[in-house]
Amino acid sequence: MDDINFAVLGTGGIGRRTLEVSTHKDGLTPVAACDRHGVAVNHDGLDVAELLDATEGNIAGDGTGDTDSETRANDDRVTDGGTAVKQHGDGAGIVASTQGTPTETPIDDIIDESEDIDAVLLALPNLEHDFIPRIAERFADAEFEGVLIDVLKRSRVIGMLDEREATLTDAGITFVCGAGATPGLLTGAAALAAQSFVEVEEVEIWWGVGLKSGYEDNRGTVREDIAHLDGYDIETAREMDESEIEAVIEAHDGVLEFDDMEHADDVLLERAGICDGDDVTVGGVLDIRQDEKPTTTTVRVTGRTFDGERGTNTFQLDDATSMAANVNGPALGYLKAAVRRNRAGDYGVFGPAELMPGF
């Protein structure tokens, strides 16, 4: 009765690793997955090992992780996400799996099955701001009752989801946005660390990611990060081809440092009433040439206590925990919490901090 069936849209690094993490979890059954050209559905549970094996280094897409073929029908860039493509069957991606079926309409195919699905993880980079909000709308139009959850990073997407909140609520959807590492795990940690205080003055989120072995799987994520660098924005990053991305990485010797990023943690902490968005800073260092983290991921929350003291509570992730571990564990954790809310009839749009103790 507490079991949860879920689907994953997108089988880039985040989607595939989430499927893998779910096999370690009790009560979580992955029943559907799709990428740009294929869909796999089995309501008794996908064979995750076979699916991962078939799609490893073999992603159907254009390197952006974009799964929505309908919205990108005129886009001919298909690089298969890397040079070392491992072909296990005909075509790339999910269709290479024995469980996969080719399709022109992968998201609609999942929506068609959604009556028997409790939760859907949208593991898609949001290169167009309204890409994920529009997908949410399609689930609502189909009267999906359940959880939608994404691992978005961008502040401005939250507002677009809020604009659709009535539609989502009417359908019976509990939408959790920004439920990966940051925002996600670290936003939740900030919300919890704030509990010692009656006023939060500053939240500093600082992350380190070493991504050598995961680079091929996470090109979409790296592209999103490049949009945060000085001189780039979301549009220029989207238009870059792979060689331009490589050139940026080369110019930085493989180590990209980010300060004061537009990261949804600010909006998500503000909407939970914890602090002003302006009091939140997010930065970090991404090293694409080694797996070792270039800096320790740390959340520091500074505030005033009711008894007049000022202090800083700290949350630190061990350097041995990979980005994948810190995105996919929390995504499934928030998914579980959201399904509980959804089953109780609590619908709408939530950030991770709103699934924590209130402030």
Nearest CA-CA partner of 181 in 171, 172, 190: 190
Residue reference for tokens 């008794």: 44
Q: Which two tokens stand for residue 304?
A: 């005033």
263 catalytic per annotation: no
Name the token pair of 92.
Answer: 């790339």
Measured from the CB atom, the residue of 289 and 343 that comes closer to its own copies is 343
The one among 8, 21, 123, 261 contacting its own copies by CB under 8 A: 21
Tell me the angle at which helices 323-343 and 13-22 cross, rounded to the nearest 10 degrees.
70
| 8 A C-beta contact, residue 217 and residue 13 | yes
Would you give the binding string for its own copies spanning residues 58-97, x where CB under 8 A is met? ----------------------------------------
- The residue range among 64-72, 85-93, 129-137, 344-352 that interacts with its own copies, by the rule CB under 8 A, is 344-352
Which part of the chain contacts its own copies (CB under 8 A), choosing from 94-102, 161-169, 227-235, 324-332? 324-332
Distance of CA 318 to the CA centre of its chain: 21
Residue 321: helix, strand or coil by DSSP? coil
Q: Is 12 annotated as a binding residue?
A: yes
Task: Give the one residue of 131, 144, 197, 258 binding its own copies; rule: CB under 8 A.
Answer: 197
Residues 103 and 35: beta-carbon distance below 8 Å: no
- The values of phi and psi at residue 348, to 5°, are 130, -165
334 binds its own copies (CB under 8 A): yes
Q: Judged by CB under 8 A, does residue 231 bind its own copies? A: no
Spot the catalytic one: 153, 263, 293, 336: 153
Q: Is 70 helix (H, G, I), strand (E, B) or coil?
A: helix
Q: Is 202 one of the binding residues for its own copies (CB under 8 A)?
A: no
- Annotated binding residue 14: yes
Query: At closest approach, how far in Å is the CB of 194 from its own copies?
Result: 8
Residue 52 binding its own copies, by CB under 8 A: no
As a whole number of angstroms, the distance between CA 207 and CA 2 comes to 34
Dihedral pair phi/psi, residue 83, rounded to 5°: -95, -35
- Least Cβ distance, residue 343 to its own copies (angstroms): 8
Toward its own copies, which CB reaches closer, 44 or 307?
307
Burial 192-212 (b: 16+ CB within 10 A, else e): bbbebbeebeebbbbbbbbbe
Q: Look up 228 and say whether it is catalytic.
A: yes
User: What are the residue ranges of helices labelled H in the chain?
Assistant: 13-22, 48-55, 106-112, 131-141, 155-163, 165-171, 185-193, 219-226, 234-239, 242-251, 265-271, 323-343
* Minimal distance, residue 211 CB to its own copies, in Å: 13
The yes or no reply on residue 290 touching its own copies (CB under 8 A) is no
Among residues 96, 335, 349, 353, which is the contact residue for its own copies, using CB under 8 A? Answer: 335
Q: Is 200 in the site for its own copies (CB under 8 A)?
A: no
Q: Is 105 annotated as a binding residue?
A: no
The amino acid sitting at 238 is R
Answer yes or no: is 146 a known binding residue. no
Q: Identify the DSSP state of 180.
A: B
Footprint on residues 291-320 left by its own copies (CB under 8 A): 305-307, 309-320
Beta carbons within 10 angstroms of residue 29's beta carbon: 18
Q: How many residues bind its own copies (CB under 8 A)?
A: 57
284 binds its own copies (CB under 8 A): no
Tokens of 343: 């089953």
Q: 317 and 175 in contact (C-beta within 8 Å)?
A: no
55 lies in the site for its own copies, by CB under 8 A: no
* Torsions phi, psi for 39 (to 5 deg): -145, 145
Does position 20 bind its own copies by CB under 8 A?
yes
- Find the catalytic residue in 145, 216, 228, 293: 228
Exactly one of 164, 219, 263, 336 binds its own copies (CB under 8 A); which one?
Answer: 336
Residues forming the annotated binding site?
A: 10-14, 220-221
Q: Under the rule (CB under 8 A), what is the footprint of its own copies?
A: 17, 20-21, 24-26, 185, 188-189, 192-193, 195-199, 273, 305-307, 309-322, 324-326, 328-330, 332-337, 340-341, 344-346, 352, 355-359
Residues designated as active site: 153, 224, 228
